[in-house]
Structure 1
Amino acid sequence: MKRMRQFRAPASRRWIVAGVAAITAVIVLVLIATVWMNPRTSPSPSLPTNTTLAPEGEPGATGVTTSIDGGEPMRTLEVGAGASSEGEADPDVDISIDPRAEQQRVDGFGAAMTHSSADLLASMPGDERTALLEELFDPDGPVRLSTLRLPIGASDFVDTDAFTFDDVAVGETDWELERFSIDPDRHALIPMLQEVLAINPELRLIASPWSPPAWMKTSGSLEGGRLLDEDRAYETYSAYLVRFVEEYRAAGLEIDALTVQNEPQYRHPDGYPGTDMPVWQEAKLIERLGPALDAAGHDTAILGFDHNWELNPGDAATTPEGEDPAYQYPADLLRTPAAEWIDGIAFHCYSGDASAQSRLWEQFPDIEIWVTECSGSSAPGDSPEKVFADTFAWQTTNVLIGSLRNRAAGVLTWNLVLDEHSGPHRGGCETCSGVVTLGADGTVTRNAEYFMLAHAARYLPPGSIRVESSSTDAELQHVAFATPEGETVLLVWNSAGVPRSIEVGDDRRSLGVDVPASSLSTISWAALTPDS
């Protein structure tokens, strides 16, 4: 099994966009200087823009917090000195961090640039779109997302009929891929990705197909069915995916990783593309795809699986008679010969919990684990306040802290941008939420996903290392990191319905901080210096 490539952006990408990036850097400094607003509905958030700028209190220590009570998100926390002195660990701290107990490297936070997200962004006035993308992706900006997932062909989030890059009339085939074209993506998806890349030249891209072309499938349809179990189908579909990588490279967009099938155990999608791909078939495909990527000179990683932490009972019930439901799909896949070509495993959040990641890692410690999709949702009639509170609490505890404590190298939510009707979409989720919502009047609403991601991405640059943290307090959920710059960063969720005064620390120092009720706080500090 190959060790994960960690999605490093190649040097060629950096210099191609360096000129554009230099110009946008000047613009973003001006924009960030003017950022101050209602964080839910106005054009720009009130977020701190410099992690080393401490408030009044302990030198070199900062804190921000977001609670579910409707207060100002990402507001500054006062961080004071704890009881222990420099160089002495305090056994009585509420959360103790051991910076020597290194765990996984963390390389990215982000969301998905679906066709719906791209279309909505493209509909914005250019200056407003640029300001929003800089806010989200600039490496020195207030959020600092670094990874985007994109569909290969249509997902459920499109404003058109479903499509792939090689659709032909019913009854026809194209085994030589003579009609292959990524033209559907040239309208909005590719231009929006190019704009983001100009803002963040180190952007990582993960691409996932929802379906092969219908003529390659047993169903003859994009909705449901399997890839034909024929050598020419595996060879041609591998060539199709390699061609996608090549065409995107020609557009200036490097695909850092591929999954070979979105949600392979979801056999009967509701009105949108999807494919039943059992373990044995995904393995057969990867055994062709890995060598094909190498032969074409692409350093594109392959992530297996791309589905839930645990097999959904509804998906298990649709298992064809006599077949294995594959309750341990990722582990089963990694025991096949295809493991030679698999760099990591991708998970979604819609069934089970993140402890599945650690159980898998214990069996296969060389793989890298990513959470590639998790969408917020709501019930009809829920107030905006309830949607924010429920989504923020669940995603913080399960997707952010839960995944990172269980070996995740990256965490992505689902759509980057949706409209106020949770769309546009064709079938599928009717109540999904995006990182931001774009209203018909152009109003941008920053949702729970925005602030959850900002609490991590803003303070954890790629290359940060998770370190061990522990606590005997069941009301405090936490995860800690050492950054490349030498800071310690702690994310802590106070599940109590009352504010708490807590003490946190490592072997260098301890700090005291008051965290609000039902809040996520990010606390960062560096070692004290003689001048501190």
Structure 2
Amino acid sequence: MSILSIATALLLSTTACTNSASIDDSPRPAGQGSEPTPAGKVATIYTTTGSGAQLLNMTKAEIFNGNNMAPSTIIVDPTQQFQTMDGFGFAITYSTCYNLLKMSADDRAAFLKQTYSETEGYGVSYARISIGCNDFSSTEYSLCDEPGLENFRLYTDETQYVIPILKEILDINPNVKIIAAPWTCPKWMKVADIDTKKAFDSWTDGHLNPDYRKDYAQYFVKFIAAMKQQGINIYAVSPQNEPLNKANCASLYMPWQEEAPFVAELASAFKKNGIVTKIYLFDHNYNYDNIEDQQDYPVKVYNALGNEFEGSELVVGSAYHDYGGKNTELTDIHTQAPDKELIFSESSIGTWNDGRNLSKRLMEDMKNVTLGTVNQWCKAVLVWNLMLDMNMGPNLDGGCQTCFGAVDISMDYKTITRNSHYYVISHMASVVRPDAQRIGVTQRSLTKNGLVYSAFRNPDGSYATVVLNNSDENITAVISDGQNHFRTVVPAQSVVSCKW
């Protein structure tokens, strides 16, 4: 696949959830005025079809002056303004970095440039890493396995794999934001329960000892400082990955009643140390793992903490995964806490959801993972491993051994297969720049169903739209911003991203 520039065209609906709509592709009626005048500009369009016939293929469409009045016109409406976007990206795990570092330097540079460059690639703008191990690390570990914070140090997974790859990514795109989350605290900080505080010597499950909340907050401070020494800024953290998941190979059970007092300590520690890293609560499933008293987890933390604690301005919002429940929970949380941010921080493909079948996954993932979260107030969308090998590894016992990467690499460490998650993130990132604002749209005489879309205005004043056609027929649309317009075809079962 050739390295691409950046795409462009328009669409969106103002509904909060799927922003579904349809288009009448009938010919322009007679009597609509004289032929339009070319504006001397073009829209850039990227197209991926579920059949694989087009894979982020780039085309151009001529832009014409005026507001086309054909029945099929969709007009972007910048007067309707929603959230400002932070970006789109992938998790950069040890396993991802292990596979990338097995590639030749030239092949790796070409792949990373195509993925992250804003001028020669798709402009992916966000990355997620772990604080200590995750289920795609070389082993279970924390950054302070010996008792006492004086024993804090980065592990070889960071120093030899994750940090070198992050540096290569940041050399390509210095604007990439990084969010970090722990899968577990150090084992010496764990207890079986917070009442008896009985020691709990296990990577899996356990609670954070309340007596170590201040120390654990300093653990985050040390991590952020250690990464900064490497030239890597941590934009955001969450206090605990999947806090209601007791079963991961490395995990820590942290219900909202325990996350709230820890977040207070964490925010205070950040404030005292001049750290402006954002804190996102929860970082788990839409359905709260069906635990009754954990429903609306982040809202309960907001209510418990109030707004008067030290560093409260750093607790900006909450993060969600999609391994249980429905993304309509995002709108519910936004309604309850409209002044707080939302991000979508993890989704995976694997054997359980036919993850290598593009014809099945492209439509579902574009609708639910990217457009379905962005249209419900998410400022960022991240999926799980950027790259795994064809054997779904390397991985750890007790973690996910049935996951595919957004990209799979063959065991020759040269041949790459891109899966749906690579396409849905790249379709968003290629036309929606950090600090873009999601905006509205008005519609004329739409009669055919099958479209889901979102539209944006970028910081440079350009417009962008990402459109999913879930129907079995091609749809022709005229896209207008009120001053200019262009025509584009959205093939059946496809995603089209446009920028102009």
**TM-score (ref. length: structure 2):** 0.85
Instruction: Report what 2:410 is aligned to.
Output: 439
**Is the CA contact 1:348–1:371 (under 8 Å) kept in the aligned structure 2?**
yes
**Is the CA contact 2:355–2:404 (under 8 Å) kept in the aligned structure 1?**
no
**Aligned partners of 1:524, 1:198: CA distance in 2, in Å?**
25
| Percent identical | 29
Change (3 A) 1:121 1:516: same
**Aligned partners of 2:189, 2:478: CA distance in 1, in Å?**
59
Cα deviation, 1:362-390, whole Å, max 9, x if unaligned, reads 2222222111111122349x594xx2222
Change (3 A) 1:403 1:188: same
Cα deviation, 1:22-67, whole Å, max 9, x if unaligned, reads xxxxxxxxxxxxxxxxxxxxxxx235325489xxx98422322111
Letter in 2 for 1:490: T
Change (3 A) 1:240 1:494: same
Q: Is 2:432 the partner of 1:457?
A: no
Change (3 A) 1:400 1:49: same
Q: Choose from 54, 62, 66 the match for 2:44.
A: 62
Q: Which moved more, 1:458-467 or 1:353-362?
A: 353-362
Q: Is 2:483 the partner of 1:508?
A: yes
Instruction: Report what 1:487 is aligned to.
Output: 462
Q: Choose from 179, 182, 188 the match for 1:206.
A: 179
**Is the CA contact 1:400–1:452 (under 8 Å) kept in the aligned structure 2?**
yes
**Is the CA contact 1:372–1:412 (under 8 Å) kept in the aligned structure 2?**
yes
**Aligned partners of 2:201, 2:370: CA distance in 1, in Å?**
39
Query: Partner of 1:188: helix, strand, or coil?
Result: helix
**How far 1:78 sits from its partner (Å)?**
6.1
Instruction: Report what 1:221 is aligned to.
Output: 202
**Aligned partners of 1:503, 1:485: CA distance in 2, in Å?**
23
**How far 1:305 sits from its partner (Å)?**
0.8
**How far 1:94 sits from its partner (Å)?**
5.6
Q: Choose from 388, 398, 402 the match for 2:368.
A: 398
Instruction: Report what 2:385 is aligned to.
Output: 415
**Is the CA contact 2:474–2:490 (under 8 Å) kept in the aligned structure 1?**
yes
Letter in 2 for 1:67: T
Q: How does 1:176-215 map to 2 (within 5 A)?
A: 176-184=148-156, 185-215=158-188
**Is the CA contact 1:166–1:180 (under 8 Å) kept in the aligned structure 2?**
yes
Change (3 A) 1:383 1:433: closer
Instruction: Report what 2:89 is aligned to.
Output: 110
**Is the CA contact 2:392–2:403 (under 8 Å) kept in the aligned structure 1?**
yes
Query: Partner of 1:391: helix, strand, or coil?
Result: helix
**Is the CA contact 2:8–2:465 (under 8 Å) kept in the aligned structure 1?**
no
Letter in 1 for 2:257: W
Letter in 2 for 1:112: A
**How far 1:79 sits from its partner (Å)?**
3.8
Letter in 2 for 1:74: L
Cα deviation, 1:191-230, whole Å, max 9, x if unaligned, reads 11122112211221100000001111123211011112x2
Change (3 A) 1:430 1:393: farther
**Aligned partners of 1:109, 1:379: CA distance in 2, in Å?**
24
**TM-score (ref. length: structure 1):** 0.80
Query: Partner of 1:246: helix, strand, or coil?
Result: helix
**Is the CA contact 1:142–1:454 (under 8 Å) kept in the aligned structure 2?**
no
Change (3 A) 1:355 1:126: same
**How far 1:283 sits from its partner (Å)?**
0.7
Q: Is 2:340 the partner of 1:374?
A: no
Q: Which moved more, 1:250-259 or 1:122-131?
A: 122-131
More strand by share: 2
Letter in 1 for 2:174: P
Q: Is 2:161 the partner of 1:161?
A: no
**Aligned partners of 1:513, 1:483: CA distance in 2, in Å?**
20
Change (3 A) 1:152 1:338: farther
Instruction: Report what 1:144 is aligned to.
Output: 123
Q: Choose from 338, 345, 356 the match for 1:365.
A: 338
Q: Choose from 222, 234, 245 the match for 2:213.
A: 234
**How far 1:336 sits from its partner (Å)?**
1.8
Instruction: Report what 1:46 is aligned to.
Output: 2
**Aligned partners of 2:411, 2:225: CA distance in 1, in Å?**
36
Instruction: Report what 1:328 is aligned to.
Output: 296
Change (3 A) 1:250 1:366: same
Q: Which moved more, 1:292-301 or 1:254-263?
A: 292-301
Q: Which moved more, 1:446-455 or 1:149-158?
A: 446-455
**How far 1:489 sits from its partner (Å)?**
1.1
Query: Partner of 1:335: helix, strand, or coil?
Result: helix
Q: CA RMSD in A?
A: 2.3
Query: Partner of 2:408: helix, strand, or coil?
Result: strand
**Aligned partners of 1:438, 1:253: CA distance in 2, in Å?**
27
Structure 1 segments unaligned to the other structure (5+ residues): 1-44, 169-173, 317-323, 526-532
**How far 1:402 sits from its partner (Å)?**
0.7
Instruction: Report what 2:453 is aligned to.
Output: 478
Query: Partner of 1:423: helix, strand, or coil?
Result: coil
**Aligned partners of 1:421, 1:312: CA distance in 2, in Å?**
29
Query: Partner of 1:238: helix, strand, or coil?
Result: helix
Letter in 2 for 1:211: T
Larger relative contact order (CA 8 Å, sep ≥ 6): 2
Change (3 A) 1:282 1:383: closer
Query: Partner of 1:111: helix, strand, or coil?
Result: strand
Structure 2 segments unaligned to the other structure (5+ residues): 10-37, 192-199
**Aligned partners of 1:93, 1:508: CA distance in 2, in Å?**
16
**How far 1:92 sits from its partner (Å)?**
3.1
**How far 1:91 sits from its partner (Å)?**
8.0
**Aligned partners of 1:80, 1:495: CA distance in 2, in Å?**
25
